[in-house]
């Protein structure tokens, strides 16, 4: 019964936050900066407030790790929230944006949901129960070779300090694949790997809220998640690689020279 309540709360929080994002899209925003390239809008804060208040209403003793608020600690049950994954897109009126919420118990991800309020696509997964898109089962692609693959990537906020590393990484793939995309929402990129739209995705320096929900969705859809050395991906890891599993070994070979990058 408790897992049913957690799922219901998670989905309700995603929907509620998504409505706030959609209803304020394209309007003039108050924008601040956490770094040179890291934006925050008033809607990030409003979306997060709505999700957190709803969760704590049902589970007042649970811990919360949310991007725009101080962490709430003390429980072995934790909600990991990105109120707008793709804030730069949102601020510029580019509709590749999502809300991402993961639920973790005793250090293990048990559920995750990612909601794209513009395409009305809701990705969800529960441990050992598979992954879905709008309630229908999803699976990773069956593409077997890197040369036939469509990949996704992103660029960290510190790219002004060491752009050559990220450009070199991009250069490695440009002549080896069908194409590469940079959408600007890590959560959506992970979900697109899960449903087969992308065959693989790599990016450096994601925060836990960027990837928590996407990780369990990819895993439950049959994908593979590691760092650039092939070690299982963690919430705190700096290197992030998600694939359909079939092209994973080839991508690890391509990323061999970047294993030491942190």
Q: Which active-site residues does the annotation give?
A: 67, 82, 84-85, 87, 210
Alpha-carbon distance 197 to 141, whole Å? 7
Radius of gyration for the chain, computed over Cα atoms and rounded to the nearest angstrom: 17
Element (H, E) at 63: strand 63-66
Question: How is residue 194 written in tokens?
Answer: 């899960």
198 close to 189: Cβ distance less than 8 angstroms: yes
Alpha-carbon distance 22 to 8, whole Å? 21
Question: How is residue 157 written in tokens?
Answer: 């906020």
The secondary structure of 150-207 as a DSSP string is EEEE---TTTTT-HHHHHHHHHHHHTTSSEEE--S-HHHHHHHHHTTS-SEEEEE---
Q: Which residues, 6 or more positions from 16, have their beta carbon under 8 angstroms from its beta carbon?
A: 50, 51, 54
């Amino acid at each position: 019964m408790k897992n049913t309540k957690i799922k219901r709360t998670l989905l309700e929080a995603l929907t509620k936050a998504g409505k706030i994002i959609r209803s304020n899209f394209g309007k003039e925003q108050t924008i601040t900066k956490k770094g040179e390239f890291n934006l925050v809008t008033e809607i990030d804060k409003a979306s997060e407030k709505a999700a957190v208040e709803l969760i704590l209403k049902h589970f007042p003793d649970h811990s919360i790790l949310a991007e725009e608020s101080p962490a709430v600690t003390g429980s072995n049950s934790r909600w990991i929230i990105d109120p707008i994954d793709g804030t730069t897109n949102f601020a510029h009126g580019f509709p590749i944006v999502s809300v991402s919420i993961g639920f973790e118990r005793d250090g293990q991800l048990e559920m995750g949901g990612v909601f794209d309020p513009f395409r009305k696509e809701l990705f969800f997964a529960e441990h050992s129960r598979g992954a879905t898109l709008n309630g229908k089962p999803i699976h990773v692609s069956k593409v077997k070779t890197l040369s036939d693959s469509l990949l996704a990537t992103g660029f960290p906020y510190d790219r002004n300090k060491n752009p050559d590393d990220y450009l070199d990484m991009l250069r490695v793939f440009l002549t080896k694949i069908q194409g590469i995309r940079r959408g600007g929402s890590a959560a959506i990129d992970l979900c697109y790997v899960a449903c087969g739209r992308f065959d693989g995705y790599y990016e450096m320096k994601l925060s836990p809220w960027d990837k928590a929900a996407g990780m369990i969705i990819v895993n439950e859809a049959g994908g593979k998640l590691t760092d650039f050395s092939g070690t299982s991906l963690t919430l705190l890891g700096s290197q992030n690689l998600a694939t359909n599993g079939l092209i994973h070994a080839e991508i690890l070979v391509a990323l061999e020279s970047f294993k030491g990058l942190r």
